[in-house]
Chains A and B, each alone.
Chain A
Amino acid sequence: MRISFRNSLYFTLAGGIAVLLLVYDWIRVAVNLNSAFLTGLNDLLSIAMFALFYWTFRSFLSRKLHGPLETLRKLVGFAFFTAALLSIFGILLAGVGGEGEFIPRNVWQLIATTVFSFGVAAFLAVLLNLTSNLMDLKPDKRVRRRFGLFLCFAFAASVLSVFKGSTLMGTLGTIAFVITVVIATSHIVSMNWIVFLTRKEKYKSLVHTLFLFLLCGYSFASAGPAHLAGGILQFYSGPLDEFAKISFLFMTIYFSLAFVVTLFHIPTSGVFEKKKRELDSYQDLSKVITNVLDTTEVLNNTVTVVGTVTQANKVWIELRNDGTLAGPGDKYEISATHKTSQYELSAFDFSAVREAVAARNHVIVNDSAELARFSLKEFPAKSLLAVPLTAHDEFIGVLYASHDMPYAFDEEETSTVSAFADTAAVAIQNSLLFTKSIENERLQHELRIAHEMQLKLLPESLPYSEKFETDFLSFPALEVGGDYIDYSRIADGTYAFVVGDVSGKGTSAAFYMAYMKGVFQSLSASLKSPLEFMMEANDAIENTLQKNFFITLIYVLLREKEEELSIVRAGHMPGVLISGGVCRLIKPAGAGLGLEPSKDFGKHIEEEKICLKRGDTLVLYTDGVTDQRNPEGEEFGEERFYGLLKETSGGSATDIKGGIIRALAEFSQGTDAVDDTTVLILKWKGIAIPD
């Protein structure tokens, strides 16, 4: 223990005073001196000595506060030493005074008197400090201030008690004493520390306070005038003796009451401990809940904590499994269990309880008859408690707790479980949202991959030769789309080009688009006629597509040598042929693929042949082009598109494509495309005539 300079100074001063008083006493006894001034000075110095002790011990006894039991243990120890001191000196100096006043006969007795008084003052200072610490364990500034006041008035009363002869001083002394008693009484109720003891600690406290009561009582009695110890103290310093008596009396009363209060608190300590446990668990749960984002972990923690803290034999949580909209058709599933299992619970239908919980907060079922009312007659429990899990005003599930005994859940238990449920519900929802956001991120990632994959299904470039040039554009409206563009080199100088559109857009359309690619690539290689191709394609698609899906397709066969195009159209936007500055729509009859059974489809489909002239431009497109809107909601439209093609048809295929992209961008002014957009441009150059 480090002793500060101030403390050693105090202690030296106290020692100095003790020596001074010893000298004074020696002179007093030797020459039979009787000066009122010197007596007063002696008394003040003895009180000052005590005060120095008190402050010295205060500074290192309150440096580190121990628990109540530790403090009680120290108190018992010091009280024992004090009582022992009082007894030993009583025996040592026996026969010196006898009845009445004590006067030491020789130097040894004088020294013994001094050592004794010095010791009593020191022990008393320690005891008072420890008692003050005990009362201060549940810190309250007023308690500490009042204890200081108590000591001051006790000092005053002690000093004034010397002047019993004077009426004024006597009255003042009485007043100081009364105030001391009042303050002491107010202190006696400072027993908060008892409340926070566990049951076991309370038993220990009972023993300690009983000892303290006996030891302090003994010390009080010893310090009285009837005993030699009291006489010695009285000789040494009247006020010190008075002060010691007041202090011992105070401690005797305090510890006797502490004993009684502890005794009365024992029956309630079970409740207190339970509350404390609940509070601790609640804090633990809150901590866990704010740190854990895994739904399963949150759920398991919740049922475990509720199972540990409450009476419940079994605890489980039922969650709405979609986690989105509430409604009567919602499905619920057991999401976490404690001391039971999904398997065991799956035999019972808790929907009646759940509906009752959703309708009126919590439900307490007290016996088998009530269980039967919720159609849970067979359920192996006598009591059931169900509280709602509500997060942000949304009912997300139910927390159940059951017990083998009837009437196991009272209002208090219910409010505890409800508190847990409220905290848990928010955490559950947070974790669900977190999971969902991760899931969303994953889907975003998947869609990006799908986008990449679909880009690979599109041709990098289209074939061209000296006689013709080609170009194309294709943008999905979402990450993936249902537009299809492709070509196939059937033979030398014979090419098939195709543009298609799967109804709808997004992922499902993208799958059918991929399927279409397979169909086109496998059929176009083996079939000679475009009509044959379309009929086979309808066959392949009709049995695959959902009823409300269909694919439109335009198929163009280019025979370089013959300078001829054959076009078949299955419900698709017409081809646009710009020839000699005139715009003509190529629109042979034909229904969309998957709309008609093949026998009917074949009846309706037609083929159109075009003999190519130099500079002829054929444009195939999907309705994403013409459906593009501007911020005013106006469509780009066919007129505008055909007009644009006519204007730009003089340029190369790439020029035409550039013109379309610029025109669409200018027109839409940033308005998102509603549909996938695809354009194929085929420009016939014919045979260049040498200049």
Chain B
Amino acid sequence: MNEFKVLTRDSGNAVVMELHGFLDAHTAPDLEKSFSDLIGRGKYNIVVNFNGLSYISSAGLGVFMAYIDEVRNNHGDIKLTNMQQKVFNVFDLLGFPFLYEIYPDQDEALKKFDSK
């Protein structure tokens, strides 16, 4: 099983968060920590790049739910990009497309933040 990893880097007025590996109940706290660090630094424009993520469980999905309200209340957003088909299917089944902007490409999401 590939280890879960989060890489964050600033890009313009947004932050890109790259996810790698498996996101499940065991690794969800790592992602939670990354989110709370960003929010602690006042970064509310967040692009999550799922390119390296090969699996997500319901506990992993919960992490996005935990922070979305706070981010949006601060006029920011969490935009999801570059999902593999399998990961997208999970998000899609759950109805995440109703809740989040999901883009095939990271740059598209960044452009949205730029144009704000």
A interface, CB within 8 angstroms of B: 501, 503-505, 547-550, 552, 570-574, 587, 589-592, 595-596, 600, 604, 623, 633, 675
B24, closest chain A residue (CB)? A674
Bound: A595/B64 CA distance, A: 10
How many B residues are at the interface, by size bracket? 10 to 19
Bound: A592/B62 CA distance, A: 11
Task: Please name all residues of chain A whose beta carbon is closer than 8 Å to the beta carbon of B66 when the two chains form the complex.
Answer: 547-548
Q: A504-B25, A504-B59 are in contact. Are A547 and B65 (CB under 8 A)?
A: yes
Stretch at the interface among B9-17, B89-97, B104-112: B89-97
- Judged by a CB distance under 8 angstroms, whether B38 is at the interface is no
A-B contact pairs, 28 of them (CB 8 A): A503-B59, A504-B59, A504-B62, A547-B62, A548-B59, A548-B63, A548-B66, A550-B58, A550-B65, A550-B94, A552-B94, A571-B93, A571-B94, A572-B93, A573-B93, A574-B93, A587-B93, A589-B98, A591-B98, A592-B94, A595-B95, A595-B96, A595-B99, A596-B98, A596-B99, A623-B58, A633-B1, A675-B57
Bound: A589/B95 CA distance, A: 7
- Could you tell me the distance in whole angstroms from the C-beta of A652 to the nearest C-beta in chain B? 29
Checking A503, A587, A596, A604 against B58 with a beta-carbon cut-off of 8 angstroms, the contacting residue is: A503
Task: Please name all residues of chain B whose beta carbon is closer than 8 Å to the beta carbon of A587 when the two chains form the complex.
Answer: 93
Kindly count the residue-residue contacts between A and B in the assembled complex, taking CB atoms under 8 Å apart. 61
A604, closest chain B residue (CB)? B98
Check B95 against A504 for contact (C-beta < 8 Å): no
B63, closest chain A residue (CB)? A548
- Judged by a CB distance under 8 angstroms, whether B30 is at the interface is no
- Could you tell me the distance in whole angstroms from the C-beta of B22 to the nearest C-beta in chain A? 11
Bound: A633/B61 CA distance, A: 22
Task: Please name all residues of chain A whose beta carbon is closer than 8 Å to the beta carbon of B62 when the two chains form the complex.
Answer: 503-504, 547-550
Checking B1, B61, B63, B95 against A590 with a beta-carbon cut-off of 8 angstroms, the contacting residue is: B95
Check A604 against B59 for contact (C-beta < 8 Å): no
B25, closest chain A residue (CB)? A504
Chain B contact surface mostly: helix
- Judged by a CB distance under 8 angstroms, whether B101 is at the interface is no
Pick from A548, A591, A592 the residue with the most CB of B within 10 Å: A548
Check B95 against A604 for contact (C-beta < 8 Å): yes
B interface, CB within 8 angstroms of A: 1, 25, 57-59, 61-63, 65-66, 69, 93-96, 98-99
Task: Please name all residues of chain B whose beta carbon is closer than 8 Å to the beta carbon of A596 when the two chains form the complex.
Answer: 95, 98-99
Bound: A573/B93 CA distance, A: 7
Task: Please name all residues of chain B whose beta carbon is closer than 8 Å to the beta carbon of A550 when the two chains form the complex.
Answer: 58, 61-62, 65, 94
Check B94 against A591 for contact (C-beta < 8 Å): yes
Q: A505-B25, A547-B69 are in contact. Are A595 and B94 (CB under 8 A)?
A: yes
- Could you tell me the distance in whole angstroms from the C-beta of B48 to the nearest C-beta in chain A? 15
- Could you tell me the distance in whole angstroms from the C-beta of B46 to the nearest C-beta in chain A? 16
- Could you tell me the distance in whole angstroms from the C-beta of A513 to the nearest C-beta in chain B? 13
A504, closest chain B residue (CB)? B59
Bound: A547/B59 CA distance, A: 11
Bound: A284/B47 CA distance, A: 67
A570, closest chain B residue (CB)? B95
Check B58 against A504 for contact (C-beta < 8 Å): yes
Task: Please name all residues of chain A whose beta carbon is closer than 8 Å to the beta carbon of B59 when the two chains form the complex.
Answer: 503-504, 548
Q: A501-B58, A503-B58, A504-B58 are in contact. Are A592 and B95 (CB under 8 A)?
A: yes
- Could you tell me the distance in whole angstroms from the C-beta of A361 to the nearest C-beta in chain B? 36
- Could you tell me the distance in whole angstroms from the C-beta of A569 to the nearest C-beta in chain B? 8
- Could you tell me the distance in whole angstroms from the C-beta of A232 to the nearest C-beta in chain B? 104
Bound: A547/B32 CA distance, A: 13
B94, closest chain A residue (CB)? A571
Bound: A675/B58 CA distance, A: 10
- Could you tell me the distance in whole angstroms from the C-beta of B31 to the nearest C-beta in chain A? 11
Task: Please name all residues of chain A whose beta carbon is closer than 8 Å to the beta carbon of B57 when the two chains form the complex.
Answer: 675
Bound: A590/B95 CA distance, A: 6
Task: Please name all residues of chain B whose beta carbon is closer than 8 Å to the beta carbon of A503 when the two chains form the complex.
Answer: 58-59, 61-62
Bound: A587/B93 CA distance, A: 8
Check A571 against B95 for contact (C-beta < 8 Å): yes
- Could you tell me the distance in whole angstroms from the C-beta of B62 to the nearest C-beta in chain A? 3
